[in-house]
Structure 1
Amino acid sequence: MKTQKTLPFLILLFELFTLSGLTEVTGRFAEDCVLPCSFPPGEDEAIHWKHGTTNVHSYYFKQDQLSQQNPGYQSRTALFHEEIPKGNASLKLHSLRLNDSGSYHCYVGTKSDKTDKYVTLKIAVLPYYTMEYENKDTIRLLKCYAFHIYPEPKYYLNITWGDDNKPIQTTKMSISQDGPFFSVRSDQNITNPNSSYQCNIQNSYLNQTWTAEWKTEGSLSSEEGTMISIPCTSAEVCNDTKELIITWKKVDSASVGLEEINQRNYSLTLRDLTQSDNGEYLCNISTPHCTQITVRYLHVEKRNKDIDIWIIALTLLLLVVIILISILSFLRKWKEREFSTDEREREPLPSG
């Protein structure tokens, strides 16, 4: 529960559209997709799929012919055999790789016809968006990230900021690369802690919009040794309960230890408070399309030692009183028994 999980933005498995005879398919990295190809049904079908000049998959004599298949596609291609007599030569491509992108040629020949189709495959990598809050000395900073981006996001990904939903000047985005993947970052200083700040990420390549909001709520206070529940409310836009992830952390530490999180209202319960519990607490509510960060300050007051001494003294006094009452009660009952015994001994014996 401590580690903020990061939650990825969902995208379609593939997007298909046809324009002037050109078919484009967007497939998700490491998953499967289908390259469509239809033809007029006929006898003795011969099907050849190529990626540029690379042999991807061949079919004739009523069976797959893979002796000339490029090793990079081995065990990753399949036709829908039961659909071929119906005019369907679509190719299923498994476990998409980045170098699978590009133009594919589908050729189908029958006794009566020939068909050529071209499909452009685009590979989409599932990105991950997040916002981080940092409070060092007197500087409060928000960082908005887009991770695992492909291809290079320079021309299609944009990060903007808002203050109480009003646009503000945006700092320059920084782009870094790790292997084939890119990361994008934008920072924003918090100049007014009483305002809410919004980070908006637009990814036109995947037609995605992601929003994060940061805000503070009223501070809380309690005494040492007591228990407190810190509330966290979710904005309506982040109320997708099916994919909701709640994370609590203390701003100046990696995580909160031994917490109890109420799954109904997302509140955090801390027990047996100490001075080390002083500080800012961050509640992160995340769904695939948004993140909401709420910060509350907790002040733990020192317990009044004089009051503690009086409580101890009164407790001891009460204990002494209880003991005295018990002793007096015992003595009274003992005397009553002695008196009863003496009375019986004084009674005259009955005459014979």
Structure 2
Amino acid sequence: MVPERRSTYGDRLLEGEPMTVFTVSPVVLEIPGRPVDLQLKVSAPMEGNELPIILLSHGQGLSNHLSSLNGYAPLANHWAEQGFVVLQPTHLSSRSLNLPADTPGAPMFWQERAEDMSHLIDRLDEIEKAVPQLQNRLDRTKIAVAGHSMGGHTASLLLGMKTEGISLKEPRIKAGVLLGSTGRGEGLTEVVRGSYSFMLTPDFGDMTTPALVVAGDQDGSEHLTVNGPAWHEDPFHLAPGPKDLLVLEGAEHGFGGVSGYDVAETTDESPERVATVQRLTTAYLRSRLFGTADWQEEALVGVGFRVDSRP
């Protein structure tokens, strides 16, 4: 008789006890028609079954490797410690790939970025085979997407935002976290208007999947918009359906350092702020994927942020 498998998630993780984590990288998926193979890092707890999945989309920036599977350790490590399986692809826009400027979709590959995430869901069987420690441990009904900056744009597409009239909504994704994501198409800089026309036409009307929008009240992103920090709150205000907003006081685009430990790109370095993002995003994802009340309870604890929500 085969012993019944039990998930340790409910027993340990909802009490906040971190778990030992392993990572495997790179897992390589051959995608027909893609200029290069799709590489990803897998981070997961050593124990537990029926584990939820987070697809983590990196941003851009000046560094060569934060915008790849090698970035965002403060988020990926924490979420894995809290019982999530985190899948981090290297999108075609990554500086680490340095694809030729005439590659179709360059330089941002906005559509291909979203398609990467759907490929990961399609190929979960293959990912399990490449990472035997994961076999028969995933809960494929509990998939979330998270993204920072340009990764937030990618996550928004998967949650239902349209750009240039194109919908890439992924119904298998049940919740999202948008960190410093993009907003409305009005008030963008000349650089954006000339080089990134896809940012001019966002339509949030069908972005109905539940999402937590995270913004910094000092994140002006002057290279992108003249709308000020409130621009990053637009997905909360303009998208229908259940949405929550977390605004961090004093936070700039790095949210204290979510893209990497002690990286030069972080202009507002703050381990305490990173810890707040870790704690509240974890609580939010638990609440949406498992129906717990953690988000409501955790949002009442701490200072340096404000929250808003609507059904």
TM-score of Structure 1 vs Structure 2, range by shorter chain:
under 0.3
Tell me the TM-score normalized by structure 1.
0.25
Tell me the TM-score normalized by structure 2.
0.27
Higher strand share: 1
Larger radius of gyration: 1
